[in-house]
Amino acid sequence: MVPTRSASAADKRRRPARDLIAAVLENMRRNLEPLRYSTLAPSRYVVYLHPAEYRRIESIVPLLQDQTVRALAEELQMLNRPSMVRRYAERVVGWHQPQVESAAGEWHVEFLPDPDGDVVEGAILIDSDLRLPHSPDLGGGRTRRITTVHLDQRVTTRLRTVNDSPSPGARMLARVTHDDDAGHHEFDVVKDSVTIGRGGVTYPVDVRITSSADVSREHARIRRDDQTRRFYLIDLSSLGTTLNGRHVPRGYEEVNGTKRENGMETPLPDAARIGLAKTVFLQFSVVGE
């Protein structure tokens, strides 16, 4: 019997597996980081799919991983292959284009079902990591995390750089307490950057808030300046952050589908009440040094 019903919307949105590989390659090309003597490419990619879409490809995930790693290696070779113009410049003026290399020296690729309900059918969410060189000014290693969402012909990007190292000695610098749907919580601040929000697999946070979607997955950040020992509050949310009842300026801008922090931050007093979307309130207090 020939089925008479038309294809469902989900069928129309279904992507062939090769599109997943193409999306990873695009993520890599979009997020190269030029240095003086080389150019770094993100080395770790976690691809999240709608659970129904993941079930469709689950049996071929190992093969898909292998072919994505192979495609990344081939793309790297292509990026480093000298063009005629580049060969001329190297021969005539002695100019040498920095080689593109994986930031970690090898590729790591995973395909997983989205556990947070953020990825609609037909969309691809890729979370990639680019390990940046050690920076004494920032107190240790840094990782740039790039999240790209591919839906139809649209691609949106979110960039964030995190300090991977806690403050020297991991001494307690401040304390954050709050009540949410899961009860009462206390968090000891022992590093110079603390992210607050509902969190998720692609939104790693230090202070996880159990609340409604009014609180963003990555809602706010508390930053400590190691030189001045002052604390600052950065709003990263959709519905706003308050400090002692007053809204603080938004700490990011969206340009061409990319969410970038703009440097706006608000000094935190030694004792403060931080509001997240007027839904959850945190008490912040500095510990005497």
CA distances from 52 to 61, 63, 224, 281, 283 (A): 14, 19, 42, 37, 41
Report d(CA 279, CA 116) in Å as an integer: 20
- The H-or-E segment that residue 33 falls in is strand 33-34
Residues of the chain with CATH 2.60.200.20: 168-286
Given this model, what pLDDT does residue 174 score? Answer: 96
Report d(CA 260, CA 287) in Å as an integer: 31
Residues of the chain with CATH 3.30.2320.60: 9-163
Sheet strand arrangement including 174-180: 183-189, 174-180, 280-286, 271-276, 241-243, 246-247
Given this model, what pLDDT does residue 84 score? Answer: 63
Report d(CA 258, CA 27) in Å as an integer: 13
Q: What is the mean pLDDT of each run of 10 residues along the chain (289 residues)?
A: 44 77 94 89 94 95 97 94 63 69 90 89 91 55 81 82 59 94 94 92 88 93 93 96 97 83 94 96 89
CATH code assigned to 168-286:
2.60.200.20
Q: Which fold has domain 9-163?
A: hypothetical protein PF0899 fold (3.30.2320)
pTM: predicted TM-score of the whole model, two decimal places: 0.68
Given this model, what pLDDT does residue 160 score? Answer: 75
